[in-house]
Amino acid sequence: MNHRPPAPRMTVIGTGYLGATQAVCMAHLGFEVLAVDVDPAKIDALASGRLPFYEPGLDTLLGDTLATGRLRFTTDFDEAVAFGEVHFVCVGTPQSAGSDAADLRYVDAAFTELARRVACDALIVGKSTVPVGTAQRLTALVAEVAGPGVEVAWNPEFLREGFAVADTLHPDRLVFGVQSARAEGMLRAAYAPLLDEGVPVIVADLATAELVKVAANSFLATKISFINAMAEVCEATGADVSLLASALSYDDRIGGRFLKPGLGFGGGCLPKDIRAFRARAEELGVSAAVSFLHEVDQINLRRRSRTVDLVRELAGPDLRGVRVAALGAAFKPDSDDVRDAPALDVARLLYLEGASVVVYDPKANANAHRAYPDLDYAASLAEAVNEADVVLLLTEWAEFVSADPDDMGVLVAHRRIVDGRSALDVARYRAAGWEYRALGRPAGVGVARS
Ligand code: UGA
- Looking at the chain, the whole-number percentage of residues with pLDDT higher than 90 is 94
Does residue 445 form part of some domain? no
> Does 448 score more than 60 pLDDT?
no
> Does 3 score more than 70 pLDDT?
no
The pLDDT value recorded for residue 5 is 66
235 with 159, same domain?
no
234 carries an active-site annotation: no
Check 25, 90, 234, 269 and give the catalytic one: 269
Can you tell me the mean pLDDT for 281-286? 98
Please report the DSSP string for 386-417 in residue order. Answer: TT-SEEEE-S--HHHHT--HHHHHHHSSS-EE
The pLDDT value recorded for residue 149 is 84
For the Cβ of 163 lying below 6 angstroms from any atom of ligand 1, the answer is no
Nearest CA to 126 out of 161, 158, 102, 91 is that of 91
> Does 446 score more than 60 pLDDT?
no
Site to probe by mutation for ligand 1, drawn from 22, 217, 327 as the one with most ligand atoms within 8 Å of Cβ, is 217
The pLDDT value recorded for residue 1 is 43
171 with 287, same domain?
no
Cα of 368 vs centre of ligand 1, distance in Å, is 19
431 with 316, same domain?
yes
**pLDDT, the chain, mean:** 95
Residue 121's identity, in one-letter code, is D
346 with 318, same domain?
yes
**Closest ligand 1 atom to the C-alpha of 213?**
11
CA–CA gap between residue 116 and residue 17 (Å, rounded):
26
For the Cβ of 17 lying below 6 angstroms from any atom of ligand 1, the answer is no
CA–CA gap between residue 128 and residue 106 (Å, rounded):
10
The pLDDT value recorded for residue 148 is 79
Single pTM value for the model: 0.96
The 3 state secondary structure assigned to 27-92 is HHCCCCEEEECCCHHHHHHHHCCCCCCCCCCHHHHHHHHHHHCCEEEECCHHHHHHHCCEEEECCC
Does residue 301 form part of some domain? yes
Does residue 3 form part of some domain? no
The pLDDT value recorded for residue 139 is 96
**Closest ligand 1 atom to the C-alpha of 331?**
26
> Does 146 score more than 90 pLDDT?
no
CA–CA gap between residue 168 and residue 293 (Å, rounded):
28
Per DSSP bridges, beta strands 416-419 and 435-438 are parallel
Query: What per-residue string of b and e applies to 92-129 under the rule 16 or more CB within 10 Å gives b?
Result: bbebbeeebbbbbebbeebbebbbeebeeebbbbbbbb
The pLDDT value recorded for residue 120 is 76
How many folded domains does the chain comprise?
2
Cβ 220 vs Cβ 270: under 8 Å: yes
> Does 228 score more than 70 pLDDT?
yes
Q: What are the pLDDT digits (tens) for 302-346?
A: 999 999 999 999 999 999 999 999 999 999 999 999 999 999 999
- When pLDDT is cut at 50, 70 and 90, the band that residue 164 belongs to is very high
Cα of 162 vs centre of ligand 1, distance in Å, is 10
Backbone angles phi, psi at 102, to 5 degrees: -75, 145
Backbone angles phi, psi at 368, to 5 degrees: -65, -40
Q: Domain limits at 329?
A: 223-438
Q: What is the CATH number of the domain that holds 298?
A: 3.40.50.720
Q: What are the pLDDT digits (tens) for 368-427?
A: 999 999 999 999 999 999 999 999 999 999 999 999 999 999 999 999 999 999 999 999
237 with 185, same domain?
no
**Closest ligand 1 atom to the C-alpha of 333?**
28
Burial degree of 427 (CB within 10 A; 0-12, 13-18, 19+) = middle
> Does 2 score more than 70 pLDDT?
no
364 with 416, same domain?
yes
194 with 250, same domain?
no
